[in-house]
Amino acid sequence: MNFIPYGKQTISQEDIDSVINTLKSDFLTTGPKVKEFEDEFCKKIGVEYCVAVSNGTAALHLASLCLLKKNDKVLTTPNSFLATSNSIIYVGAKPIFVDICEDGNIDLDACEKMIKEDSSIKAIYAVHFSGKPVNQEKLKALKEKYKIKILEDCAHSIGASFNGTNAGSCENSDCSIFSFHPVKHMTTGEGGAITTNSKEIFEKLLSLRNHGMIKNSSMKPWEYEMQELGFNYRITDIACALGLSQLKKLDSFVTRRKELAKNYEKAFFNTKIKPLYPFDENSSYHLYVVRVDFESLNISKEELFLKMREKNIGLQYHYIPINKQPYYKQLGYGNEIIPMMDKYYDETLSLPLYPSLSNEEQVYIIKTIKEVLSE
């Protein structure tokens, strides 16, 4: 058995042809493919505006520049990739790490308590962890009641929905961000996007993506004007050509991920391996996370990782609590009282999950982890 990673891209001949056609065209960057990709992405998600950028972290940075001011306090989750809270720090605002629920998502009831007590809390950065959307009705209630800003980090959740609300459609948020890193549902190599229903935010994002530079029809052809300090966070036409062809297969990718998730759930029924949450049709299953009560077993979480690696299976632990990272500790974080997150990190692991994972490979993973845990 070849090494099975926890996640990887699925590339077809169509994807390759799409990229080659763009390489042969007049534009390698900032040409027709970027706009075409943005338009198709809007249609897919059901949102007014999309700005595609160089990666998901750039998307978070630009969204934070639009939503936050210096010293704003922002509630966010310790159970995410570093970039979510880093982007809050990029703009001089202050992340506050809130505990999580049983399903790995930020605890929005705890958020409400904190907002009631502290009016300097200006925003919530929620991640739809593993592909399972946070409760949209709660987001809506928080937005209406407290007028706070909401960002949805949809890096795990393209194709997910909550009671008919698509993740990233910004029905109950100001902005959503996406990542097209190869390990996510669809890829552009490196790439990301911000979606919003606000024209004002959309226009600011366009300017910030390109050095804060503006050109319009009242200017002379060679003129441009810099109105604010922006960046070069542009995405290439080559990347968007790949994105357009991947987008066509997104539904089938999500369907296959759900199929594999169902297989895992069935295979682990009545064993010591518990799914993080019961199979959820609304989740787009970026990750398949299981809980194991290591205290009742003869093996530690570290030993399991290494033994599975010996058998050519790549596990991953999503995520090391962000507040425990050395950089964050040096800023004074790390002593938050978040018992659910601590327990979560002791007990959980992600199993391989990607569209091209074969049934045979999955059977091998299931058999091997059961064997290793019962040794």
Ligand X SMILES: *Cc1c(COP(=O)(O)O)cnc(C)c1O
CB of 300 to ligand X, least distance (A): 26
Closest CA to 132 of 152, 162, 108: 162
Cβ partners under 8 Å of residue 193, min gap 6: 38, 41, 50, 51, 52, 53, 59, 177, 178, 180
Distance CA 286, CA 348 (A): 15
- Nearer to ligand X by Cβ, of 56 and 355: the residue is 56
Closest CA to 127 of 71, 83, 70: 83
- The residue within the footprint of ligand X, chosen from 22, 86, 176, 179 (CB under 6 A), is 179
Stretch that binds ligand X, among 63-71, 151-159, 263-271, 291-299 (CB under 6 A): 151-159
Binding track over 100-129 against ligand X, x by CB under 6 A: ---------------------------x--
- Nearer to ligand X by Cβ, of 55 and 362: the residue is 55
Binding of residue 156 to ligand X (CB under 6 A): yes
Binding of residue 257 to ligand X (CB under 6 A): no
- Strands (E) across 128-272 are located at 149-153, 161-162, 165-166, 175-179, 192-196, 213-214, 225-226
Binding of residue 264 to ligand X (CB under 6 A): no
Binding of residue 153 to ligand X (CB under 6 A): yes
Please name the amino acid found at residue 309.
R
Task: Report the DSSP pairing between strands 165-166 and 175-179.
Answer: unpaired
User: CB of 188 within 8 A of CB of 35?
Assistant: no
Q: Which residues within the stretch 23-52 sit at the binding site for ligand X (CB under 6 A)?
A: none
Binding of residue 287 to ligand X (CB under 6 A): no
308, two tokens: 């599975």
70, two tokens: 């210096």
Distance CA 148, CA 317 (A): 32
Binding of residue 55 to ligand X (CB under 6 A): yes
Distance CA 37, CA 50 (A): 9
Binding of residue 204 to ligand X (CB under 6 A): no
Distance CA 341, CA 345 (A): 6
- The residue within the footprint of ligand X, chosen from 37, 41, 49, 81 (CB under 6 A), is 81
- Nearer to ligand X by Cβ, of 10 and 368: the residue is 10
Nearest-CB residue for ligand X: 56
Binding of residue 152 to ligand X (CB under 6 A): no
CB of 258 to ligand X, least distance (A): 19
Q: Where does this chain bind ligand X (CB under 6 A)? A: 55-57, 80-81, 83-84, 127, 153, 155-156, 179, 181, 192
